[in-house]
Amino acid sequence: MLAVAEKIRNMEIRGAARIARAAAEALENFAKNYDGTDFIGDLGLACRALYGTRPTAVSLWNAIHSIVHDLEGMENEEARAVVIKRAKEFTERSEMAVERIGEIGAKRIFDGCTILTHCNSSAALATIIRAHKDGKNIEVIATESRPKRQGYITARQLMSEGVRTTLIVDSAVRYFMKEVDLVFVGADAIASNGVVINKIGTSQIALCAHEARVPFYVCAESYKFSPKTLGGEYIKIEERDVKEVVDPADVGNARIRNPVFDATPPEYIDGIITEYGIISPYAAYEIIIHQFGQKIMFEKEWWL
Ligand code: RI2
């Protein structure tokens, strides 16, 4: 459990969907291998260890919540069986959602178009790869995505699928926007007011796309929507070790900041592609209510 938490923290396991599935799998294994006497108490500690790793990714909260909600009053054995079953269900649901998003999103990608993507989103890539497999002749411009350069992963994935890909530095986005027909990005979290939190730099790309009248789509499974924002909570933006950016000694020990996500307002988003279909960002509220109802706002997690 702690080994998985550490891999999520140090980004060996990364991407909002992958970390959620890794957490689900870790909880499943924890329940399978548990040989102590206080399963629910120890499960709570495990959930907290996983949840504390990436503060922005609401997919982690949603994965944990969907697996460990309402366990109170259960005996150890019953609770273990429930956790194992729900963890498997979450993983299946997550994989199916990405596939469905691919199917839906690919319909918005037309033959001959150039798509710009940022960072490395499995949901965004599912749509692009699906369009390519459907026989559409497409090209991708992938941003490098400093500081961790997840754009390299994107470029490798797309090239291995046979999608023509050009890698650019993040600051070249406006220069290339005139060649772009569509922007497809992923999401780490979506607030109830339609604000999308994604890799740092996403909001600048949305601004450029808006200026150039290029449609901007977010590909996001329903577990990227944050129920807690409904009750007034903000989404915390993770700031990581500044050494990911540069060695402080190389810049005369100047102050360095490393926020890894930013917020794109709904007015710059043409649609959010979910497994339920393409929705307006202003429909985020309905997606949250559809999944959780309103009582989620006031619920206190037993494991937090
Ligand atoms: P999928 C990633 O975060 C990127 O910001 C990406 O857009 C987002 O998760 C969603 O990825 P990080 O873990 O869930 O690289 O679509 O910080 O794969």
Residues 6+ apart with CB under 8 A from 261: 56, 188, 189, 197, 198, 199, 200, 202, 237, 238
Map out the domains of the chain with their CATH numbers: 2-99 (1.20.120.420), 102-292 (3.40.50.10470)
Whether 127 and 186 have beta carbons less than 8 Å apart is answered as: no
Are β-strands 216-219 and 182-185 bridged in parallel, bridged antiparallel, or unpaired? parallel
Q: What three-state secondary structure class fits 239?
A: strand
pTM: 0.96
Going from the Cα of 15 to the center of ligand 1, the distance in angstroms, rounded, reads 4
Label residues 210-242 b or e (16+ Cβ within 10 Å = b): beeebebbbbbbbbbbbbbbbeeeebebbebee
Distance 117 CA to ligand 1 centre (A): 12
The H-or-E segment that residue 157 falls in is helix 151-160
In the structure, how many helices (H) and strands (E) does the chain have? 10, 10
Q: Tell which one of 128, 198, 275 to mutate to probe ligand 1, the residue whose CB is within 8 A of the most ligand atoms.
A: 198
Q: 256 C-alpha vs ligand 1 centroid, how far in Å?
A: 23
Nearest CA to ligand 1 atom 16: 121
Local confidence pLDDT in tens for the 304 residues of the chain: 899 999 999 999 999 999 999 999 999 999 999 999 999 999 999 999 999 999 999 999 999 999 999 998 899 999 999 999 999 999 999 999 999 999 999 999 999 999 999 999 999 999 999 999 999 999 999 999 999 999 999 999 999 999 999 999 999 999 999 999 999 999 999 999 999 999 999 999 999 999 999 999 999 999 999 999 999 999 999 999 999 999 999 999 999 999 999 999 999 999 999 999 999 999 999 999 999 888 888 888 999 8
Tokens encoding 173? 């986005």
Atom of ligand 1 nearest to the CA of 125: 16
- Ligand 1 binding residues, C-beta < 6 A: 14-17, 119, 121-123, 150, 185-188, 198-199, 260
149-156: which pairs have CB atoms within 8 A and are 24 or more residues apart? 150/14, 150/119, 150/120, 150/199, 151/118, 151/119, 151/120, 153/120, 154/117, 154/119, 154/120, 154/125
Q: Which residues are catalytic?
A: 119, 188
Query: 261 C-alpha vs ligand 1 centroid, how far in Å?
Result: 10
